[in-house]
Structure 1
Amino acid sequence: MQTECSAGAYEFPASCGRRVVARFDGGRMSSDGGVILVKQADDILGLSRRFAACFRDKRHPGFVEYRVEDLVRQRIMGLALGYEDLNDHDALRHDLIFGLASGRLSGGRTNCAALAGKSTLNRLERSGHKADRYCRIIADHEALATELPRVLWRRNDPRGKKDS
């Protein structure tokens, strides 16, 4: 029996004002197409928004290229696709699929990539209880400790309301 190939296209919700279509005709490729599904799950569950609310950003607004929510979203997407090492993000920051899923196809400044690199993400990960000269993003560890179980053990209320 001969293999029958289908060259169909799969359409996803638009992002950054562009159509998102998965095709299998060998055009511009990425092995990380699953990030679009992770983005849709994040949109539904609000993980990035909820975890970003557990941080205080003390950076000067005029110099901020990546919001805390953008950094959290990028880190969640990377972890979901198996990129647990921050070094991986120096290549991923130029990946169009990751940029599309993050809602950024280009940087806000001419010398910036669409997504953050390892050094910027490291500032989020090493955030402490108070700001210092080099770490201006402050984690509320109590809020993180409270939010994580809420996300992991979310259950349905018998009255039809969701715990969140």
Structure 2
Amino acid sequence: CNGSVRVELSGQRTTSDSGALLLREVLDNSGVIEALEDNLVDPRHPLRIRHSLASQLRTLVLQRAMGWIDLSDTDTLRRDPLWQLACSDARGTTPLAQDRPSQATLSRLLTCLGR
């Protein structure tokens, strides 16, 4: 159980994609991301990984589910606090300092998965 979500609008940084948090819960409860991660090989060097495979997969799935179908949309969303929270491996309500994966990072993942 993740508890309640409190949204405060300050006028500085707002989003219209709050449904991504609900979809994150659905993904977590379904185990889809973990199943994908368990069955895919991550060829990256462990010491050079900045974004986990699960975080990248979560980003791809949530973006498409929310209607952001082009990878070029990734750079629009990567600094959005809600998207950072929805796609991160971390749980909770603390704002995250790290940006989401870039368009180039997700493109490399899709190329790797396509092989």
Q: State the TM bucket, normalised to the shorter chain.
A: 0.7 to 0.9
TM-score (norm 1): 0.59
Secondary structure of the corresponding residue to residue 67 of structure 2: coil
Partner of 2:72: 87
Task: Give 3-state SS (helix, strand or coil) of 1:53's partner.
Answer: helix
The amino acid across from 1:66 in the alignment is H
- CA distance in 2: counterparts of 1:52 and 1:93, whole angstroms: 21
Counterpart of 1:101?
A: 86
Structure 1 spans left out of the alignment, 5+ residues: 1-11, 108-113, 130-164
1:54 to 39, 64, 70: 39
Q: What does residue 6 of structure 2 align with?
A: 21
The whole-number CA distance in structure 1 between the counterparts of 2:2 and 2:16 is 19
From 36, 43, 50, the counterpart of 1:65? 50
Describe the superposition over 1:24-47 as per-residue Cα deviations: whole angstroms up to 9, x where unpaired: x55441111110111110111012
Give the match for residue 61 of structure 2: 76
State the alpha-carbon separation in 2 of the partners of residues 33 and 124 from structure 1. 26
- SS of residue paired to 2:5: strand
Cα distance between partner residues in 2 of 1:67 and 1:101: 14
SS in 1 for 2:41: strand
Aligned length: 107
TM-score (norm 2): 0.81
Matched residue, 1:45: 30
Query: CA offsets per residue over residues 83-109 of structure 1, 9 Å max, x none?
Result: 1100000111101001111235222xx
More strand, by proportion: 1
Moved over 6 A (4+): none
Following the alignment from structure 1 to structure 2, what is the Cα–Cα distance between the partners of residues 94 and 86?
15
Which protein, 1 or 2, shows the higher relative CO under an 8 Å CA cutoff with sep ≥ 6?
A: 2
